[in-house]
Structure 1
Amino acid sequence: MAVIAVLAVLLAGGMAVIFQQFVAGRSDQLLTSGGAIGAPFELVDHNGEPITEQAMEGRPVAVFFGFAHCPEVCPTTLYEMAGWLNALGEEGEEIGAFFVTVDPERDTPEIMRAYVTNFTDRITGITGDPEKVAALTKSWFVYSRKVPLDDGGYTMDHTASIYLVGRDGNFKGTIAYGENGETAVAKLRRLVKG
């Protein structure tokens, strides 16, 4: 049994490395092509109000895809993102920050509102029809997959990077999960100036 457990850990680790290489390669491809990212969408924000891609147009944006039942990556990322936006102060007021669920089956507007507002009022939660959310995540080249749990529930595997997009709608890079805070703030500062 121990051998099987070790093999499972190695396989999971190997898949994580392969996935990170995929994301890095995709990021490089988008950057070198001046790549537009995303697509038109009609969903709802964490207040239950309609939201479309127009909320992200004409200003720099930071977009993170995750879910409210996430045990570590999502709360850590939202906490850090809130801190980086605070660190920028007035300089970062123009940045639109968004948290798009990859679990719209559970993440209702009410749940998203309670979750996101625990971190800051600067981040807008986005949820809605599962098929429309899936189309949006695909247009951002975001990986997400439902993973069944032994207790009958599930969790979600998903891309853990924050996507940065300029005023022109083009992809400008990412902030990786666990990235140094000073580096992250510097990237957001360049995003504003760019």
Structure 2
Amino acid sequence: MSALKLIRYGAWAAVAALAIAAGVIVSLQMTSNDNGGSLIEPLSAIGGPFELTNGNGEVVTDKDMTGKPSIYLFGFTFCPDVCPTTLSEMQGWIMSLGEDAGKLNYAFVSVDPERDTPDVMRDYVAAFDERIVPLTGSRDQVDAMLKAYRVYSKKVPLDDGGYTMDHSAAVYLMDADNRFVGTIAYGEAEESALKKLKRLIEKAPASS
């Protein structure tokens, strides 16, 4: 087995463990909160302030994402399968939500800012839906957000001298105060994903 395969298996094991843990928490807490409380009890260890740049070169912070719930996908434009697949699914969720789609923020955050400049991110995300905000920044800015949101990311060298990125594949769900409330797993059924998004919208403050 090649070293690259070993790295990938280890990375996906870590991602799977995160997704399973988050899924258990979401399942238990959503069940216990059917009495009309918050979507789930916020996990303060995940999330926090950030400052990045959108596809137009404008600064975007966590404050800009408050007021209504948000969904974040972390990835990179050279991603061969996970990112374009999930962005396509996100596009489908937006279409299925109809008018309610405007009650959520959507963001695609680069884990590879060296290659994912604002214009590259803008053009890439434009192929899916203009409501998905592309976010990138300096290496330090991106790393600070990845750390705050507990996102796994690792550069993996390729035999041709290039590199790819292993990273968390789940979509992060945040409430209207930009607090973590759960995830949508990679490849999760559309019906299940939409149920989570609709509940996220329903539990948001009426003003959002």
With normalisation by structure 2, the TM-score equals 0.83
SS at match of 2:103: coil
Q: Is the 8 A contact 1:92 1:189 kept in 2?
A: no
Asked if 1:20 is matched to 2:16, the reply is yes
Distance in 1 (alpha carbons) for counterparts of 2:132 and 2:52:
16
In the alignment, the residues of structure 2 paired with residue 115 and residue 21 of structure 1 have an alpha-carbon distance, to the nearest angstrom, of 29
3-state secondary structure, aligned to 1:51 = strand
Give the aligned length. 190
- What's 1:51 paired with? 60
C-alpha change, 1:14 and 1:40, in structure 2 (3 Å) is: closer
Structure 1: distance between partners of 2:53 and 2:126: 16
Structure 1: which amino acid aligns with 2:151? V
Partner of 2:43: 35
**Counterpart residue type for residue 12 of structure 2:** A
CA distance in 2, matches of 1:11, 1:48: 34
Separation of aligned partners in 1, 2:117 and 2:7: 34
Decide whether the 8 Å contact of 1:82 with 1:122 is kept in 2. Answer: no
What residue number does 2:161 align with? 152
2-side partners of 1:118 and 1:51: how far apart? 21
| DSSP-derived class of the 1:157 partner | strand
The offset of 1:187, in angstroms, is 0.8
Instruction: Tell me if the contact between 1:92 and 1:192 (Cα under 8 Å) persists in the aligned partners.
Output: no
Q: Is 2:73 aligned against 1:73?
A: no
What whole-Å deviation, never above 9, does each CA across 1:120-162 have from its counterpart, x for those lacking one?
0110000011111001011001000000000110000000000
8 Å contact kept, 2:157–2:164? yes
Match of 2:127 in 1: 118
Which range moved further: 40-49 or 15-24?
15-24
Alignment partners' CA distance in 1, 2:74 and 2:87: 10
Measure how far apart 1:171 and its partner are: 1.6
Q: 2:179 aligns with which of 154, 159, 170?
A: 170
Which one-letter code corresponds to 2:174 in the other structure?
Answer: V
State the one-letter code of the partner of 2:184: I
Structure 1 residues 165-174 or 21-30, which shifts more?
21-30
Q: Distance in 1 between matches of 2:86 and 2:189?
A: 12
For residues 172-191 of structure 1, the C-alpha deviation after alignment (integer angstroms, 9 at most, x for no partner) is 21111111011111111111
Extract structure 1 runs of 4+ deviating beyond 4 A.
7-12, 26-33
Point out where structure 2 has 5 or more consecutive residues left out of the alignment.
Answer: 30-39, 204-208
**Sequence identity percentage:** 47
Displacement after TM superposition at 1:20 (Å): 1.2
Aligned letter for 2:17? Q
- TM-score under structure 1 normalisation? 0.89
SS in 2 for 1:111: helix
CA drift of 1:70 comes to: 0.3
Structure 1: where are the runs of 5+ without partners?
A: none
Q: CA RMSD in A?
A: 2.2
Measure, in 2, the Cα distance between the counterparts of 1:106 and 1:178. 26
Give deviations 1:31-76, integer Å, cap 9, x for gaps: 7762133222222101111111112112110000000000000000
SS at match of 2:154: strand
